[in-house]
A and B are shown apart, each in its own frame.
Chain A
């Protein structure tokens, strides 16, 4: 399909339109990241005036550090647990919404609220709900005979806590995308499947899931990227504690870089994480976006 274009439209003109944004991004994001890459090969600290090149020593120090490894582990556990739950709940909810004949824009709008809510407020809300002395979730647990759970003071429960908070905040994201996807599915496929006598689970596994595959991948890929960047909510809720049980990699980088002022170490950690994110996104997104 070719669109006939007048002579006057050239690539050069298009670049002029792109230039301001491109230049802005280069100065504000690309340059700092390049500077950070440079810093990761040095021993730069804001507390010491002398910076020298140390090649890969900083990276070696990061990879050998127990803190870094445990933070990566916590991040992966958090990511897998939260995203799995979000997907299962979000998909079930989307199917259930689809089963209602009339769409309910108000219900949808209400479900969007946790998603857009200010992250520091979200952390604060859950700090209130999960408080072991007067939190309503703790109270509900006592009433159900589960005893007094130390949601934020016990290492295992605190990981459960940040997962619960994340599920509350992000399930609506998966829900909204999958619902949009479900509503775009062709009706006739379902009519044909109904004629063949497939219903229930059969229909879900053999018809709905394959048709939804691309959208599911998009939703999950976005979630993986956003959840690696999780910071504000957990910073407010647990600050990485107790005893670093919820010390996500972003919290570790923040502490090394902005509290301990060890710029080199924080930069090296950032770049290892960036490498992981890039590897992940190249694999999933190239494919998805290209088909898009």
Chain B
């Protein structure tokens, strides 16, 4: 009995400690959110201001002066198109790698993984030169194509791990019924890998929404998505803190909502399917 009471006390202590840690991790996000509604004076006060009358001045400022709607539309177009294109290319590839006796399959898988390990900046410098040569420089298309290229290795590996869990007997039954491989992909693999597709879609959408380096380098002016605009707010004649924070919140909010609502699908994606979550 004593042992048992002891363990519930211990458990309560763990719950309390963990709640504190979660609070600590969330505080920076909450502080930014509050900051976006503080007046300039409250925001720059040397002693933190906890209670204040919320103001929308920074929000009016960014929508009036920084053309935020336009950049938001760019971000949505790029992220949605990237997600669709990535899934369309990744699922057949994952199916091919998971189900067919391709020679050097493990080698190919390893090569795909190593593409993901390359720091993006290594590819961005030559792309800066090459996209200007082929006329893709400063188009939304280049962002879609490159984000897809950067996310594709991840998507193939994750989807491959999901496809491998579908029992091959189902495929075989379909073959016996006269299905061809393309039919198996469409009628069996596709519907059965929906959780994997959701997992990939969330990650790919968020990563391409968050992407800063390519967007900051390869497009300019009205075509920029949101993240480079945040960068702009920081260096443009010192920092306009209020508007910068409001903009930071605009970028962040969709990501936080998606992550929070779909987190149960995402655990597997963390390690490219290497660890089953």
Contact with B along A127-168 (1 / 0, CB 8 A): 111000110100100000000000000000000000000001
Query: B174-188 toward A: CB 8 Å interface, digit per residue (1/0)?
Result: 011000110001000
Cβ–Cβ < 8 Å partners of B227 in chain A: 118-120, 232
Closest chain A residue to B128, Cβ basis: A258
Q: Say yes or no: A232 contacts B117, CB within 8 Å.
A: no
Which residues of chain B come closer than 8 Å to A33, judged between CB atoms? 118, 122-123, 126
Q: Is B122 a contact of A274 with CB atoms below 8 Å?
A: yes
Inter-chain contact B25/A111, CB cutoff 8 Å = yes
Q: Which of A21, A115, A290 contacts B89 (CB 8 A)?
A: A21
Whether, in the assembled complex, B26 has its beta carbon less than 8 Å from a beta carbon of chain A, the answer is yes
Q: Are B117 and A225 in contact (CB-based, < 8 A)?
A: yes
Taking the complex as formed, is A96 at the interface, i.e. its CB lies under 8 A from any CB of chain B? yes
Interface of chain A: mostly helix, strand, loop or mixed: helix
Given contacts A9-B175, A93-B18, A273-B122, contact A109 B97 (CB under 8 A): no
Cβ B245 vs Cβ A124 within 8 A? yes
Q: Is B77 in the interface zone, CB < 8 Å from A?
A: no
Interface string of B11-42 (1 = CB under 8 A from A): 10011011101100110110110010000000
Tell which of A11-19, A77-85, A203-211 binds the partner: A11-19
Bound complex: CA of A286 vs CA of B150, how far in Å? 21
Q: Is A76 an interface residue (CB 8 A)?
A: no
Count residues of chain B with CB under 8 A from any CB of chain A: 104
Q: What's the nearest-Cβ distance from chain B to residue A94, in Å?
A: 10
Chain A neighbourhood of B276, CB < 8 A: 180, 184
A121 interface residue (CB < 8 Å to B): yes
Q: Which of B230, B255, B266 has the most CB of A within 10 A?
A: B230
Is the Cβ of A117 less than 8 Å from the Cβ of B15? no
B123/A134 in contact, CB under 8 A = no
Contact: B231 with A113, CB < 8 Å? no
- Are the CB atoms of A128 and B47 closer together than 8 Å? no
Within 8 Å of chain A (Cβ to Cβ): is B73? no
| Given A11-B103, A117-B252, A281-B117, A125 and B125 contact (CB-CB distance below 8 Å) | no
A interface with B by C-beta (< 8 Å) = 3-6, 8-11, 13-18, 20-22, 24-25, 28-33, 35-36, 39, 44, 46, 93, 96-97, 99-101, 104-105, 107-121, 124-129, 133-134, 136, 139, 168, 171-173, 176-177, 180-181, 184, 215, 218-219, 222, 225, 228-229, 231-232, 235-236, 250, 253-254, 257-258, 263, 266-267, 270-271, 273-274, 277-278, 281, 285-286, 288-290, 292
